[in-house]
Structure 1
Amino acid sequence: MEKSVDLTVAVIAKECVPGRVKTRLSPPLSPENAAALAQASLSRTLATVRLLPVRHRILVMDGTPSPADAAGYTVVPQVTGGLDERLAAICDATTGPLLIVGMDTPQVAADHLGALLRDWSTVQASRDAWLGPAADGGFWALALRRPDGALIRGVPMSTDTTGTAQHARLTAAGLTVGSLPELRDMDYFSDALQIAAEIPDTDFAHAVDNAARTAADPAPKSRPLEGALR
């Protein structure tokens, strides 16, 4: 059996209710299809995290998860406030090493987290923190060996420099920061199409294919700077 890493993984997510989740997928998708795609992304992310050799898993939810999604997780509600406040609250409520990931990168796999898991499974870890940059300038993952909400609170979110600003906040605190692979968030249907091409023959790819059959125009009109961990 693979040795368990002393690590809590928190998935921050939103209940996949039509009209309340992934609204930027509509158009070209209907709110119902957008919500279905969000659910496929969330379920795949949760399934991946269940396979990681870690100590504890938390689902930090805005809304109510399905029993299938909640399986294997401690479910806690998100606090109110901006994204920086919600991420900071997770840090302040966690003791011991913490990794936070969002629900918008269904392509994430154990290999993307390999460097982090290997480093923090040793007695003398070489990095105090790890950051997973997103293609739009944000970040899809943040890991802290000693979680502290002050390391996140006040970092400007939803900009194309959020990842850079978060990295600067960590280094200014004297932390050594490792970099995880860059991933693309599912903000628009065009993102979903590209992500599906990376993970063909998966439930998520099939969900994207089904949605594409009803999509009017998969190309986004513009690209605002916001997302799950930006």
Structure 2
Amino acid sequence: MTGTVIVLAKAPVPGRAKTRLCPPATPEESADVAAASLLDTLDAAAAVPDTRTLVAFTGRLIDAARACEVEAALGRTHRTLQRGEGLGPRIVAALADAAARFPGDPGLLIGMDTPQVRPALLAEGVAALEHADAVLGLAPDGGWWALGLRDPAAAGPVAGVPMSREDTGENTLAALRAAGLRVVLLPELTDVDTAEDALVVAAAVPGSRFAEAVDRVPGFQRVAR
């Protein structure tokens, strides 16, 4: 089964990326952590068999951390621009773009905040769409880290779900089921919003770009102690 892994991403620019890590991180350190997270995520997406990667991107790389490395990684993907006011509409638009570019193929959308995700887990999500209408990966903070649809153009119900809240995952699941979709739940993953999240995720992927970036932030080490 072929499919599309869609990565919703923004340029890791200091002061604009991972701002909830400040403090204890500086804006420059937070942007570097964001860049590492994006690069690890793109590597995982690229390693999923029988899929292509579509990045829905926003922002300017000229001021971004690791700009050359990020640009090179993006050059190995398909790309589209994020559009829409608010996160919900942007998610729907990214899935709609996948449906338009690759008709008939399922789409699995993730963010750049779960650098610990493994290719096997992404492959599991895509494969589940052979029998289910949708898959959803919930996060411990009440949100979600992955949303997959057999028909990516059917994401409309998600547009009205308030994002970045403690009930976002629950409400997204309810919206999908209310639309008559059969939903399979994926394993829970922590997405990186806070310094505590960053430390937990870094410990899960030692030796990764993300773990090395986190280890270079003195403020994170003070939190760990």
Same fold (TM over 0.5): yes
Report deviation, 1:57.
1.4
8 Å Cα contact 1:12/1:102 also seen in 2: yes
Which residue is equivalent to 2:145?
140
Report deviation, 1:111.
2.8
- Structure 2: segments with no counterpart, 5+ residues: 62-69, 100-104
Which residue is equivalent to 1:112?
121
- 1:158, 1:118 → 2: CA distance? 27
Report deviation, 1:54.
3.2
Which residue is equivalent to 1:159?
165
Report deviation, 1:214.
4.6
8 Å Cα contact 1:113/1:180 also seen in 2: no
- 1:56, 1:64 → 2: CA distance? 23
8 Å Cα contact 1:29/1:216 also seen in 2: no
Report deviation, 1:22.
0.6
- Counterpart residue identity of residue 99, structure 1: L
- Counterpart residue identity of residue 181, structure 2: L
Report deviation, 1:135.
1.0
8 Å Cα contact 1:134/1:182 also seen in 2: yes
8 Å Cα contact 1:60/1:78 also seen in 2: yes
> Does the residue aligned with 1:160 lie in a helix, a strand or coil?
coil
> Does the residue aligned with 1:152 lie in a helix, a strand or coil?
helix
- Structure 1: segments with no counterpart, 5+ residues: 220-230
- 1:112 to 1:55, Cα distance in 2 relative to 1, 3 A: closer
- 1:94 to 1:111, Cα distance in 2 relative to 1, 3 A: closer
8 Å Cα contact 1:131/1:180 also seen in 2: yes
Asked if 1:59 is matched to 2:59, the reply is no
- 1:115 to 1:70, Cα distance in 2 relative to 1, 3 A: closer
- 1:158, 1:214 → 2: CA distance? 25
Which residue is equivalent to 1:81?
85
Report deviation, 1:208.
0.9
Asked if 1:187 is matched to 2:193, the reply is yes
8 Å Cα contact 2:108/2:125 also seen in 1: no
- 1:165 to 1:218, Cα distance in 2 relative to 1, 3 A: same
Superposed, 1:8-157 pairs within 5 Å as 8-65=4-61, 66-95=70-99, 96-120=105-129, 125-147=130-152, 148-157=154-163
- 1:16 to 1:126, Cα distance in 2 relative to 1, 3 A: same
> Does the residue aligned with 2:159 lie in a helix, a strand or coil?
coil
Report deviation, 1:114.
4.3
- 1:214 to 1:158, Cα distance in 2 relative to 1, 3 A: closer
Structure with bigger helix share is 2
Q: TM-score under structure 1 normalisation?
A: 0.85
Deviating above 3 A after TM superposition, structure 1's stretches of 4 or more consecutive aligned residues are: 117-120, 214-217
Which residue is equivalent to 2:67?
none
Render the CA deviation track for 1:55-89: whole Å, top value 9, x for unaligned: 32111111145322213211211113110010111
- 1:134, 1:11 → 2: CA distance? 17
Same amino acid, percent of matched pairs: 42
Render the CA deviation track for 1:20-70: whole Å, top value 9, x for unaligned: 111111100111001000000000000110101133211111114532221
Match of 1:174 among 155, 180, 191: 180
> Does the residue aligned with 2:54 lie in a helix, a strand or coil?
strand
- 1:199 to 1:55, Cα distance in 2 relative to 1, 3 A: closer
